[in-house]
Amino acid sequence: MKIPLSMLMGFLLSVSACNRNEPSRVAAAPEQQSTNADTQAQQLELQNYVKSVQAKLEEYDKKFDGLEARVYTMGGTAKDDFKNVIEELRDQKKGIASQLDNVKNAGPDSWRRLKPNVDSAMTKLERSYQDVSKKLDSTPLPSKKPPNQDKPPNEQNPPNQQNPPNQQNPPKSQ
């Protein structure tokens, strides 16, 4: 009877030892689920960030087009200077788009290290745009030509001059 009892005790000890390892395996599954959820949340945050920056860059395209439309009415060297500055703004925007591509290609964990560079470049672009816009606002536009400026002075008609009597329209007959 001693043998079966010792076998029973050995069996119970081995079963209880197996149960000690089992909770750690069960605990590993929730940790893995938690890690997957964190990765998915980071991926979603990355996607939202990229969409947000892309939308801002598209807005800048429209703003730059507006600047160019205002510059179109100018003439001379001021027009050329503003065109060059607007082109520099577009180059800055392209640089940000390139940095954003790097953020997109980074993993869900490492994109946060690249984010401050993109944010800083966006802030710099906004400041540059505001500076150019203010300079353009303070630059006088060319005045419009008065009517008949292209004619020589002897051919210009004063605004209140009436036709000579011999050139008036004859009365209409009925």
Asked if 129 contacts 85 with a C-beta cutoff of 8 angstroms, the reply is no
Instruction: Give the domain extent around 132.
Output: 51-138
**Does 38 map to a domain?**
no
Identify how many contiguous H helices and E strands the chain contains and give both numbers: 3, 0
**Does 110 map to a domain?**
yes
56: pLDDT confidence band, cut at 50, 70 and 90? very high
**Does 6 map to a domain?**
no
pTM: 0.60
Number of domains observed in the structure of the chain: 1
Per the model's pLDDT, the better-predicted residue between 38 and 95 turns out to be 95
**Does 92 map to a domain?**
yes
